[in-house]
Structure 1
Amino acid sequence: MTKIFLVIPVIVGIIVGGFITFYPQEERQDTLLTKSKLIEGGSPILGSPSAPITILEWGDYQCTFCYKFHDTTLKIIEEEYIKTGKVKLVFKDFPLNGPDSVLAAEAAYCANDQRKYWEYHDETYKNWAGERTGWITRDSLEKFAMTVNLDLNKFNNCMDSHTYKEKVNQLYDFGQEVGIDATPSFLVFNDEKIIKIRGNQPLEVFLKTFDEL
């Protein structure tokens, strides 16, 4: 996949596909592209909240390249940049692969009710078994909950009531509003600018982006 860097001035720009489109300083764009708006509503922050650079990952639990990013590049970024306080990560769901992806995203937020979002998130990717192959079911999601030691009654009540389905759908809608059209996609930003990375790019692409910021 071609490496794509898009440097976007905060407030005046909105990402659309693989291009930059500039808009007047309208209130709508100001609201969409603020640091707080990009972070809010997603996963708990992984890393130090005061880290100067934020990676906002848009992903789908069934997505092949999301899994590959999680299994390779993210591990290095986490050790060298997140754990050292240079970068923080927020995950937002962009369930392109249908209802099973929505269900897995709901499950992660149900786990978050018990303060185990990232444990559950990682366990789901650990058990990744392809796109649209049927590996995401209520039974498998309950198994992941058992593995990370969740209270199953609370977890199943949350899942039965689809407590977070609307939240997941809203994240998908918001992703579309800011030009996300593939997974994984990343908005990497500091207080001054946003850089979009589309796809599971090599580690070097992320390191160059960190240097740019």
Structure 2
Amino acid sequence: MNARTPETADTPSVSRRTFGARLALTAVVAATLGLAACGDAGTGSADSAGGNPALAVEHPLGDITLGDPNAPVTLVEYASFTCGHCAAFHTVNLPPLKEKYIETGKVFYIFREYPLDPVATAASMLTRCVSPDRYLQFADVLFARQQQWAFSEDPRAALEAIARQGGISSGQFEACMTDQAVLDGLREVQRHAQEDLQVQATPTIFVGTEKINGNLPWPALEEIITNQLPG
């Protein structure tokens, strides 16, 4: 499988039936190959001499974060809202990560959008419409309900329904879907990730100095985190 660049300009007019079928096929192929990432996972490791390389450039829209910025380890996740392995990370790995490491001040968590397709781009733009203190909460809702909207015949209508439940009106939803500044910001984040960090799949996770291509079982991820902690 090859990594895909988001077809962001076409977000409002995507053929939803075709897109849902393509996403489902991608998930089946990934499962068959035993992959833990969406897209082309590739290989690679972070530059251990320079700390977490994902922190070299600030997010133009502002990072979505959780925890203490002064924590000894920073974990940066690049994710696509239509990626099943990203949904698994958020539903399986993120809860113990929060409880054991983020809430205890050991890990600072940063979520960055890396949309693999127009539907994921629309979801990323929608997330940026809620208040900043609700960004991550809304992202978790989208991942938890991924099967209900990303794989539906009309993902855009399904996203709008979720938006209404979150207090976003139809007019606000349309404004979100056509916000050029947000779209440009998302594109810039992905460009930097692709060109400078060699991010080719989702999730790609940077834990301190280590780069992880794909989602790991919690015990394996926890071992990497503890190895990065001082002492």
TM-score range, shorter chain: 0.7 to 0.9
The equivalent of 1:74 in structure 2 is: 94
The equivalent of 2:204 in structure 1 is: 185
Q: Quickly say closer, same or farther: Cα 1:94–1:135, change in 2 above 3 A.
A: farther
Q: Secondary structure at the match of 1:19?
A: coil
Higher strand share: 1
| Distance in 1 (alpha carbons) for counterparts of 2:100 and 2:153 | 32
| Distance in 2 (alpha carbons) for counterparts of 1:131 and 1:139 | 8
The equivalent of 2:211 in structure 1 is: 196
Q: Pick one of 83, 92, 99 that aligns with 2:103.
A: 83
The equivalent of 1:119 in structure 2 is: 137
Matched, 1:158 2:176: yes
Q: Conserved in 2, the CA contact under 8 Å of 1:106 and 1:162?
A: no
Matched, 1:144 2:162: yes
Q: Secondary structure at the match of 1:85?
A: coil
The equivalent of 2:16 in structure 1 is: none
Q: Secondary structure at the match of 1:211?
A: helix
1:94 partner amino acid: Y
| RMSD over aligned Cα atoms | 3.1
Pairwise CA distance, 1:64: 0.9
1:18 partner amino acid: T
Pairwise CA distance, 1:132: 6.2
Pairwise CA distance, 1:141: 2.1
The equivalent of 1:18 in structure 2 is: 43
Higher helix share: 2
Provide the aligned length of Structure 1 versus Structure 2.
188
1:188 partner amino acid: V
| Distance in 2 (alpha carbons) for counterparts of 1:64 and 1:130 | 12
Q: Secondary structure at the match of 1:106?
A: helix
Unmatched tracts of structure 1, length 5 or more: 4-15
| Distance in 2 (alpha carbons) for counterparts of 1:143 and 1:94 | 23
2:118 partner amino acid: P
Q: Conserved in 1, the CA contact under 8 Å of 2:127 and 2:138?
A: yes
The equivalent of 2:20 in structure 1 is: none
Q: Pick one of 41, 53, 62 that aligns with 1:33.
A: 53
Pairwise CA distance, 1:162: 4.2
2:176 partner amino acid: C
The equivalent of 1:210 in structure 2 is: 225
Q: Choose between structure 1 and 2 for higher RCO, CA contacts under 8 A separated by at least 6 residues.
A: 2
Q: Conserved in 1, the CA contact under 8 Å of 2:78 and 2:203?
A: yes
1:19 partner amino acid: G
The equivalent of 2:123 in structure 1 is: 104
2:145 partner amino acid: N
Pairwise CA distance, 1:158: 2.7
Q: Quickly say closer, same or farther: Cα 1:132–1:159, change in 2 above 3 A.
A: closer
